Amino acid sequence: MHEIAVETRRHRELVDVTGPVQAAVAASGVRDGIALVFCPHTTASVTVNENADPDVVTDLLAAYVELLGDERRFRHAEGNSGGHALSSLVGASLTLPVADGRLALGTWQAVWFCEWDGPRRRTLGVQVVGR
């Protein structure tokens, strides 16, 4: 498994990690198969979404805050229950197609690391299987 370091700077933030994930795919030597992208953190996640318009990320973050509502109602003593909830909602892993040695993403798609309890130093695992 290839490990990618991700440094976040804000409490809630989406970081485009498409380049490092693609580099892990290229380093694997796999031409056709799948790439598993795994986030081993309980207050972070990964997703695929648009990378062309920065307002998409802004809107997603606003939507997540609205979904959570008033976080003071949560009981978890560390004060990061919202991060745990968002991690479960968005998800800890992605399975992405690999074709001709590259991620087979759509024209406007990117792989996003989602920080829900930052800033922190995080990691992502990328496992590529195929031929």
**Orientation angle between helical segments 54-68 and 81-90, nearest 10 degrees:** 120
Q: Does domain 2-130 have CATH number 2.60.120.460?
A: yes
- The pTM score is 0.95
88-129 per-position pLDDT tens digit = 999 999 999 999 999 999 999 999 999 999 999 999 999 999
Confidence (pLDDT) at 81: 95
Q: Assign 72 a pLDDT band (cuts: 50, 70, 90).
A: confident
Confidence (pLDDT) at 79: 86
Instruction: Enumerate the domain spans of the chain.
Output: 2-130
Indicate whether 77 pLDDT > 90. Answer: no
